[in-house]
């Protein structure tokens, strides 16, 4: 491929959540995350205990830098000279600052975005689009005109699926080495994702397969490619908010307790809802869920996240080229490994039909 494969875009931006870099950053970071919700600082300090267990450092920033470097290498391998930037929602480097600086240095006006979330819901898709819209409006107020487009959600893209298949093959080998022999009567795969409010789940179903269904499609696609597998199911982690507000269940810890009471002796926990080992994985699965497994007597193996898996990285660059071709008015092949096909929820979101969740704010096309 040549540089023109990403035309008309001037630059690519990797957009993520962000995370604190030390103990003094934790509460300010959580204030950014919860802005407008009126949560007292004392409560934020309690929530921040997860971060303090890791010296106040979230691994997400380091992991995004690693992904950025691999994306740069893949672009270079394809002969694409388009620069790639990194910006966050909640911590430095903030998206608006990154775009402003790049625009002033280079004159670039057209940006193509990847987000570190594969699925469709308000938090995992539409809120990022609102971030892009807010950046565009802020810079417009400063006399700086830019546009930001994003690639589609990629839960059903072969790059993401193939990376997950590779990961599960390794996890099954590790689990078999631990338990001696795979036994579908005694062992389970628990695919884990971030829980969301049931109202957000319902909103995600309006225009395409909903958040939970997208995970189920991926799980089935993985299972079809595994030579040896085990019974599997979808569970959730990282629930937050008031207890009276219903969120998607079952929680991974509750489910492990139930399985142990039914005679299950071991589980593979696979965090397919997360692209890297950030705090929800390091605390919720590597600490909390691992402790639950030990307490109820379950053998426990946690599968990897896609991280910088080469299949995943190549898939993201494929998506960049796909979106650029669409913007040029071409009709590129949109490969998929799940039945729904490559429904572009982000296009549907332009008319307010996708992943509304909590807000009807206008978003960037």
Mean pLDDT of the chain: 89
Q: What pLDDT sits at residue 45? A: 84
206-217: burial string, b at 16+ Cβ within 10 Å, e else:
ebbbbbbbbbbb
Average pLDDT over residues 16-22: 93
Q: What pLDDT sits at residue 4? A: 62
Report residue 277: phi and psi, to 5°: -85, 60
| Preceding amide of 250 cis, omega within 30 | yes
| Secondary structure in 3-state letters for 161-175 | HHHHHHHHHHHHHHH
CA distance readout (Å), 6 to 58, 137, 198, 325: 32, 24, 38, 7
Under CATH, what is the fold of the domain 11-154+308-328?
Rossmann fold (3.40.50)
Q: Coil, strand or helix: which one is 113?
A: strand
Q: What pLDDT sits at residue 259? A: 98
The per-residue DSSP string of 16-34 comes to: E----BSGGGHHHHHHHHT
Average pLDDT over residues 192-211: 88
Cβ atoms of 279 and 51 closer than 8 Å: yes
Average pLDDT over residues 89-99: 96
Q: Coil, strand or helix: which one is 281?
A: helix
Under CATH, what is the fold of the domain 158-302?
Rossmann fold (3.40.50)
102-124: burial string, b at 16+ Cβ within 10 Å, e else:
bbeeeebebbbbbbbbbbbbbbb
CA distance readout (Å), 58 to 7, 55, 80: 35, 9, 31
Q: What pLDDT sits at residue 337? A: 64
Q: What pLDDT sits at residue 355? A: 52
Average pLDDT over residues 289-310: 98
Rounded CA gap, 34 and 247, in Å? 18
Does the annotation flag 111 for ligand binding? no
Does the annotation flag 194 for ligand binding? yes
Cβ atoms of 222 and 163 closer than 8 Å: no
pTM over 0.85: yes
pLDDT tens digits, one per residue of 221-268: 999 999 878 999 999 999 887 788 899 999 999 999 999 999 999 999
Task: List the strands of the sheet with 266-270, edge to edge.
Answer: 232-237, 187-194, 266-270, 299-302
Give the H/E segment covering residue 104.
helix 95-106
Does the annotation flag 128 for ligand binding? yes
Domain limits, CATH 3.40.50.1400, in the chain: 11-154+308-328, 158-302
Rounded CA gap, 214 and 341, in Å? 11
Residue 146 confidence (pLDDT) above 50: yes
Cβ atoms of 136 and 95 closer than 8 Å: no
Does the annotation flag 280 for ligand binding? yes
pLDDT tens digits, one per residue of 50-82: 899 899 999 999 999 999 999 999 999 999 999
Residue 361 confidence (pLDDT) above 80: no
Rounded CA gap, 147 and 283, in Å? 37
CA distance readout (Å), 198 to 140, 174, 332: 36, 35, 35
Q: What pLDDT sits at residue 285? A: 97
Residue 352 confidence (pLDDT) above 70: no
Q: Which residue has the tokens 């057209």?
A: 110
Residues whose CB falls within 8 Å of the CB of residue 355, separated by 6 or more in sequence, listed in order: 120, 121, 122, 124, 125, 126, 203, 204, 206, 345, 349
pLDDT tens digits, one per residue of 155-199: 999 999 999 999 999 999 999 999 999 999 999 999 999 999 999
Better pLDDT: 346 or 300: 300
pLDDT band at residue 344, thresholds of 50, 70 and 90? very low
Average pLDDT over residues 272-293: 95
pLDDT band at residue 121, thresholds of 50, 70 and 90? very high
């Amino acid at each position: 491929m040549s540089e023109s494969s990403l035309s008309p875009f001037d630059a690519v931006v990797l957009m993520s959540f962000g995370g604190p870099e030390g103990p003094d950053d934790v509460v300010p970071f959580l204030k950014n995350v919860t802005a407008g919700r009126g949560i007292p600082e004392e409560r934020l300090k309690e929530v921040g205990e997860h971060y303090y267990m890791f010296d106040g450092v979230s691994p997400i920033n380091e992991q995004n830098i690693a992904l950025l470097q691999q994306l740069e290498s893949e672009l270079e391998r394809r002969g694409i000279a388009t620069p790639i930037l990194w910006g966050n929602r909640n911590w430095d480097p903030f998206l608006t600052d990154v775009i402003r600086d790049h625009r002033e240095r280079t004159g670039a006006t057209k940006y193509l975005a990847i987000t570190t979330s594969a699925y469709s819901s308000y938090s995992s898709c539409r809120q990022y689009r609102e971030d892009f819209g807010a950046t565009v409006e802020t810079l417009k107020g400063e006399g700086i005109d830019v546009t930001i487009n994003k690639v589609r959600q990629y839960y059903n893209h072969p790059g993401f699926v193939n990376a997950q298949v590779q990961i599960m093959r390794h996890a099954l080998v590790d689990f078999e080495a631990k338990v001696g022999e795979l036994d579908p009567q005694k062992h389970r795969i628990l695919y884990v994702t971030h829980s969301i409010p049931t109202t957000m789940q319902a909103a995600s179903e309006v225009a395409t397969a909903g958040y939970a269904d997208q995970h189920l499609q991926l799980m089935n696609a993985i299972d079809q490619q595994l030579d040896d597998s085990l019974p599997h199911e979808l569970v959730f982690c990282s629930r937050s908010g008031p207890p009276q507000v219903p969120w998607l269940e079952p929680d991974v810890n509750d489910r492990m307790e139930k399985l142990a009471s039914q005679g299950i002796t071991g589980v593979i926990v696979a965090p397919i809802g997360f692209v890297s080992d950030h705090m929800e994985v390091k605390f919720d699965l590597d600490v909390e869920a691992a402790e639950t497994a030990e307490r109820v007597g379950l053998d426990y193996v946690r599968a990897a996240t896609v991280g910088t898996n080469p299949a995943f990285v190549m898939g993201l660059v494929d998506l960049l080229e796909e979106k650029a071709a669409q913007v040029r008015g071409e009709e590129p092949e949109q490969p998929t490994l799940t039945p729904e096909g490559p429904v572009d929820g982000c296009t549907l979101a332009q008319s307010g039909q996708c992943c509304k969740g909590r807000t009807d704010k206008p978003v960037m096309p």
